[in-house]
Structure 1
Amino acid sequence: MIKVASDLKGIATKYNAADRFIEENVRNGRGEKVAILSGDEQVTYQELLNRVNQFGNALKELGVQNENRMLMVMHDTAENIVSFFGAVKIGALPIPTNTMLQPQDYEYLLNHSRSKVLVVHEDLWSKIKANRDRFVFLQHVIVVTENTSVDANEIDFHELIHNKSTQLESFMSVKDDPAFWLYSSGSTGNPKGVIHHQRSMEAAYNTYGKKVLGINENDITFSASKLFFAYGLGNGMYFPLGAGGTT
């Protein structure tokens, strides 16, 4: 367990954002509270923590290490949040990306980031899988699918985490370590990978989510901006989770 304070000035030397935004809520007695509403699915904070830990353990079994990059091409679902924080918890770097790009754009992002892992929803993967041989550094493709089977060189998301341990120690990062990347839109050239630190979500939550929006544990947030945008990542994920609310 990593102990952290509730505002940026008091962040402990050892800090992991997955511990802060997920596990801290369970420690504070919110385990049975609904963290995510997604279609007909309701995910409690305890269930979310369990899945985050299972995904993190699965990544470790695949050989993913701290600061390895993991590109995400995903719709706004519970699996998105699980993947993001599962990577953060082991010190790997998730990279949420726009779901409306062209195949050549994903080729650039995968190769530029040197991503070792791609987590992708099946309908989005179907549009880019023909280019897999051109993804130079990619080793593992984890596909979120409901009813269809994956190819032999792909990994089913739900099968991957099934029966994995729900216990996982947070990687002992510090507040200034990298936590995730986001790519710019590329309006002035090729998209640029922007590194966000472990403290970045804490800072945005405290200065805007908490002090300006006034989000608290009784709130349910809905974001028109998708999770792959910086705005959406806050509005639809770490603002409500930071307050112990529901997204």
Structure 2
Amino acid sequence: MLNLSSLLEHSAREHPGRTALVFGDTRQTYAELLARSRDIARTLRGHGVGRGDRVALSCPNVPDFPAAYFAILRVGAVVVPLNVLLRPQEVAYHLDDSRAKAFLCFDGTPQLPLAEVGRAGFDRADGCAHFLLLGRAGHQEDDGTEPVETVATAAEETAVILYTSGTTGRPKGAELSHGSMVMNAMVADRLFTAAQDEVMLASLPLFHAFGQSAVMNMGLLRGATLVLQPRFDADEALRLMHREGVTFFAGVPTMYWALLGAHAAREGQAPPPLRTAVSGGAALPVEVLQRFGKAFGVDVQEGYGLSETSPVACFNPPGLPPRPGSIGRPVWGVEMKLIDDSWQTVPDDGRGEIAIRGHNIMKGYHRRPHDTASVVRDGWFRTGDIARRDEDGYYYVVDRVKDLIIRGGFNVYPREIEEVLTTHPGVGMAAVVGVPHATHGEDVKAYVIPAPGTELSEADLIAWCRERMAAYKYPRSVEFRDSLPLTSTGKILKRELAAENHGDTAPA
């Protein structure tokens, strides 16, 4: 048996009275977190949820997320975490595509009405049987006191389905096994300072691969205290760091940039007691890395991974000076190489697409064998990222194979946005590209050819998009054109559009 829920079970057994979660003025011990998780597991079992069933979970960084996450695993079901910013039609797509049997949804707040959005998505879905609320207004009913034993799942069984846009098509669910998720938590724990008094700020969304494996799962495995922040705000994050004595922080580059600004505004205040700082999701600018180290007195460790790799695959080794711009070397039990379009290994001094093999690789895309076969061969997963490798085995990402946009650490797939744009009656043709952004790395820009006889404004089209897609996806700028650059076969030359914004020379 190897069930991912054993991470919580073990720490609750070893440290029942230790604080597991801090949320506002609330403190929850490991014993209390386990008890809450068992309550939710009873509710799920009472609704007929069992081994192999998919259960969608829409919840911000509040105590109910880990409780529900491990409850789903406990009954042998598969967790399908949903981005809390999804709109109803997007929620419905994820429920249908995953074939979820139940949907656990946090009741939300006035600023984040998850219950309202979740219910609307559930009502649009075809096959999901149960809509269950979490949180204050939706406290789970008690289905008795009989304990729910942990289902003895095998290491190769699916534990989590993480949806990722990747580089082609609509969002796809990467199936991650119990074994790969447990190993990833253990590898992350091995990478960082293993202190019994670790206090970790959980600002990264727990529905995201990075926050899930490298913060929540690793932290609970270690028996650390997780300080939950539902939505990142740099001033609030600094306040929490000082108040709770935070020793560990993981974030994407935009978070580090914001923390520097917030710290500078508190002139004369000592930095918080950070011992470990971890960055991933996108390349951390060298200037930000150096400034953060000077201001906070801790080196930022950069790493690399994807939803399909559970996610940790490569990291700058702890205890060694960071190599600015490098994503580090493969972690324990993982191999990496650079390949060309034909899957052939490129010379040591060349550039190629990163391919990864190891315990962290997904089983495949849920119900998409063709998509899986296109990226996995002989155990190797091709990432779509182009990199170089130095003589010491450190990797440096230099480009992307496809048009993926990374906005503030979130993957944004242009085609998905284009498909929504073209449903607007006033849009004739649309192309979406990533453009440089000072704090988010990239932002989303749309080029639009209006339909004949229509009048569109940038503000109106952006507002229309906001109603139909998650906040991190919708275009922040729209440029109207009479025509778009095309190949001889009629495909839009997005590289030319991107080059206009990056100041590059468009390819011939």
Which category describes the TM-score, using the shorter chain as reference length? Answer: 0.7 to 0.9
Q: For residues 22 and 210 of structure 2, what CA distance do their matches in structure 1 show?
A: 19
Query: Which digits, 9 at most, give the CA deviation of each residue in 1:43-88, with x for residues without a partner?
Result: 1111111111111111111111111111111111111111110010
Distance 1:166 1:233, change over 3 A: farther
Identity of aligned residues (%): 25
Verify: 1:230 aligned to 2:230, yes or no.
no
Matches within 5 A, 1:150-169: 156=138, 158-160=139-141, 162=142, 164-165=144-145, 167-169=147-149
Q: 1:134 and 1:98 mapped to 2: Cα distance?
A: 17
1:22 alignment counterpart: 8
- Deviation per residue, 1:12-51 (Å, 9 max, x gap): xx11121x211111332x0011111112211111111111
Rounded to whole Å, the distance in 2 between the matches of 1:159 and 1:73 is 15
Q: Distance in 1 between matches of 2:21 and 2:171?
A: 31
Q: Determine which structure has greater relative contact order: mean sequence separation of CA pairs < 8 Å that are 6+ residues apart, divided by chain length.
A: 1
Alpha-carbon distance in structure 1 between the residues aligned to 2:90 and 2:43: 28
Structure 2, unaligned runs of 5 or more? 108-112, 227-508
Alignment length, in residue pairs? 221
Q: 1:129, CA displacement in angstroms?
A: 2.6
* Mapping of residues 98-109 of structure 1, within 5 Å: 98-109=83-94
Unaligned 5+ runs, structure 1: 1-13, 148-155
Bigger shift: residues 229-238 or 164-173: 164-173
Question: In 2, Cα distance between the equivalents of 1:50 and 1:223?
Answer: 21
Q: Distance in 1 between matches of 2:121 and 2:191?
A: 44
C-alpha distance in structure 2 between counterparts of 1:86 and 1:166, whole Å: 15
Pair 1:56-2:46 in alignment:
no
Match of 1:195 in 2: 175
Corresponding residue for 2:27? 42
Which residue of 2 is the match for residue 133 of structure 1?
A: 123
Q: CA deviation at 1:163?
A: 6.5
Mapped partners of 2:127, 2:26: distance in 1: 35
In structure 2, the residue matched to 1:150 is: none
Q: Equivalent residue for 1:177?
A: 157
Question: Of the two, which has the highest radius of gyration?
Answer: 2
**CA deviation string 1:78-100 (max 9, x = no partner):** 11111110010110011111111
Contact 2:74 2:150 in 1 (8 A): yes
Distance change (3 Å), C-alpha of 1:132 and 1:212: closer
Say which SS state the counterpart of residue 199 (structure 2) adopts: coil
Q: TM-score, normalised by structure 1?
A: 0.83
Q: What residue in structure 2 maps to residue 89 of structure 1?
A: 74
Q: CA-atom RMSD, angstroms? A: 1.8
With over 3 angstroms needed to count, the CA separation of the structure-2 counterparts of 1:202 and 1:145, relative to structure 1, is closer
Note the C-alpha offset of 1:187.
Answer: 4.8
Q: Which deviations, in whole Å up to 9, do the C-alpha atoms of 1:207-241 show, x marking residues without a partner?
A: 2x222122433101113320011001123311110
Amino acid paired to 1:47: E
Judge conservation of contact 1:67–1:93 (CA < 8 Å) in 2.
yes
Asked if the contact 2:105–2:118 (Cα under 8 Å) also holds between the matched residues in 1, the reply is no
The CA deviation string for residues 148-207 of structure 1, in whole angstroms up to 9 with x for no partner, is: xxxxxxxx3x242x4642722110112111111110035522111111111122211222
Q: Aligned letter for 1:121?
A: F
2:65 pairs with 1:80: yes
User: Structure 2 counterpart of 1:194, which letter?
Assistant: A
Query: Which protein has the bigger strand share?
Result: 2
Show structure 1 runs of 4+ deviating over 3 A. Answer: 130-133
Amino acid of the residue matched to residue 133 of structure 2? Answer: V
CA contact (8 A) 1:183 1:194 kept: yes
Q: Distance in 2 between matches of 1:106 and 1:163?
A: 27
